[in-house]
């Protein structure tokens, strides 16, 4: 998954030969999880067809204020389109369109949307080298920079005229990379490495059976995805769950037992600045594991268990500058038990949830938490979706580490 996943992106296409690359750009943006809508200047349709772009984006392509072929059609509201977008990317951006953008000319739908946009605007110039260096073009660049529009620099190479020099539109992959890096630099967790544990552990009884719990891993995975969307580099140590996660900033390490999770967590703890341990780790594991499946017999089965290593407490003992977060699932005396755990395990923050709360607990898509900080602040939250809960937790962490 890319940092662009879930982003709503308007792609503006103007009348340059580089417009043929826009089809590849749409495909890349969609592949990275973005919802893409395309706006074309009327002349750009001579270089690439709306049908191609509509098929690739899976959205209607806009090029005029009204559909001239349909007398009953509603107009294309440029303000609604502008407000819909999280990002506006104009690629290719010709010298003509750049000049109009810089001087407030509004003679087509694309420019009307540009003048209404409140989101970040990126533009990728595409023109011949003499046009690129002309004083009027440089003046357009200067004005657009004052407007805080973001230029994706043109590359040097062979141009449509046959000349070689600067002015060739950046390749679609370079445009996507540029935008991703630009977004990341402003994110609150950029530069932070976060260790997260999620899911249950399974402690083998024999080759078939195990001791486990009902944890689905949904909370930990939500925290991992949200942290990555905020720019963090995430190491996710996951017990056996059915969830899948793909993100360029998330490394998944799969484990099964409490011992494996202990080892993996300790291997990565020194390199992280924040550790969030949401996994439901088994407290006990069988002393002896049968080599063959235990046959069903009359009467009872006695099994001797030993305590597993306490991962959270062990990290609390060795932490240096790490911000350490634990989870507490309680059924009685919730607040007091969570406070005791926070102090006993040397945590900076603990997230409490209760099996007594409707919408909380295992396997749900929602959770109801109370966040307790080291300085004894208690912040309860209503039932929310786990992605929203993850955001609340991370916001608390950000405030604490910047306090």
At 203, is the secondary structure helix, strand, or coil?
strand
Residue-range definition of the domain harbouring residue 67? 8-184
The verdict on 235 and 371 lying in the same domain is yes
Query: Which of 184, 218, 248 is the last residue before a domain boundary?
Result: 184
C-alpha 396/C-alpha 98 separation (Å) is 42
C-alpha 400/C-alpha 403 separation (Å) is 5
At residue 242, does pLDDT exceed 60? yes
Number of structural domains in the chain: 2
Catalytic pick among 77, 182, 213, 337: 213
Is 193 exposed, middle or buried, given 0-12, 13-18 or 19+ CB atoms closer than 10 A? Answer: middle
Using a CB cutoff of 8 Å and minimum separation of 24, what contacts does 309-312 make?
309/258, 309/259, 309/262, 310/345, 311/197, 311/258, 311/261, 311/262, 311/265, 311/277, 311/279, 311/281, 312/277, 312/345, 312/347
Give 252's pLDDT tier (boundaries 50, 70, 90).
very high
* 103 flagged as catalytic: no
**Mean pLDDT score, 232-244:** 95
Give me the pLDDT at residue 75, please.
67
Give 12's pLDDT tier (boundaries 50, 70, 90).
very high
The verdict on 214 and 263 lying in the same domain is yes
Query: Which of 157, 184, 211 is the last residue before a domain boundary?
Result: 184
Give me the pLDDT at residue 103, please.
96
- CATH code assigned at 74: 3.40.50.1950
Element (H, E) at 237: strand 233-238
Report the percent of the chain where pLDDT is more than 70: 95
Question: How are beta strands 323-330 and 193-198 bridged, if at all?
Answer: unpaired
Whether residue 243 is contained in a domain is answered as yes
Q: What share of the chain is helix, strand, coil (3-state, %, to 5)?
A: 35, 25, 40
Share the mean pLDDT of the chain.
91
The verdict on 141 and 205 lying in the same domain is no
- CATH code assigned at 212: 3.40.50.10300
Least confident of 10-24, 102-116, 233-247, 346-360: 346-360
Q: Which residues pair with 62 in a beta bridge?
A: 39
């Amino acid at each position: 998954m890319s940092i662009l996943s879930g982003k709503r992106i308007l792609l503006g296409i103007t009348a340059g030969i580089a417009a043929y690359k826009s089809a590849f750009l749409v495909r890349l943006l969609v592949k990275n999880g973005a919802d893409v809508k395309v706006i074309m200047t009327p002349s750009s349709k001579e270089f690439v067809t709306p049908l191609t772009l509509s098929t690739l984006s899976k959205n209607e392509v806009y090029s005029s204020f009204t559909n001239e072929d349909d007398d009953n059609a509603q107009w294309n509201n440029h303000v609604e389109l502008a407000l819909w977008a999280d990002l506006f990317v104009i690629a290719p951006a010709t010298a003509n369109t750049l000049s109009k953008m810089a001087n407030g000319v509004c003679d087509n739908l694309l420019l009307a949307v540009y003048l209404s946009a409140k989101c970040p605007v990126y533009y990728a110039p595409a023109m011949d080298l003499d046009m690129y260096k002309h004083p009027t073009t440089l003046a357009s660049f200067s004005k657009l920079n004052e407007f805080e529009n973001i230029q994706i620099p043109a590359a040097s190479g062979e141009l449509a005229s046959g000349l070689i020099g600067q002015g060739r539109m950046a390749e679609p992959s370079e445009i996507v990379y540029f935008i991703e890096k630009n977004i990341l630099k402003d994110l609150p967790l950029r530069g932070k490495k976060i260790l997260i544990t999620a899911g249950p552990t399974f402690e083998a009884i024999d080759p078939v059976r195990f001791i486990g719990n009902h944890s689905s891993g949904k909370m930990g995975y939500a925290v991992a995805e949200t942290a990555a969307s905020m720019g963090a580099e995430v190491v996710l140590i996951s017990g056996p769950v059915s969830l899948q996660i793909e993100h360029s900033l998330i490394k998944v390490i799969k484990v099964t037992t409490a011992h494996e999770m202990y080892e993996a967590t300790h291997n990565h703890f020194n390199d992280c600045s924040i550790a969030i341990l949401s996994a439901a780790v088994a407290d006990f594991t069988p002393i002896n594991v049968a080599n063959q499946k235990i046959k069903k017999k009359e009467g009872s089965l006695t099994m001797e268990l030993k305590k597993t290593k306490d991962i959270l407490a062990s990290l609390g003992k060795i932490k240096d500058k790490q911000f350490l977060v634990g989870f507490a699932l309680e059924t009685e005396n919730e607040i007091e038990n969570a406070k005791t755990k926070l102090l006993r395990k040397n945590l900076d923050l603990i997230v409490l949830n209760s099996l007594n709360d409707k919408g909380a607990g295992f396997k749900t898509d929602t959770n109801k938490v109370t966040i307790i900080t080291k300085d004894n602040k208690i912040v309860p939250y209503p039932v929310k979706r786990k992605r929203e809960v993850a955001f609340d937790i991370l916001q608390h962490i950000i405030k604490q580490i910047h306090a």
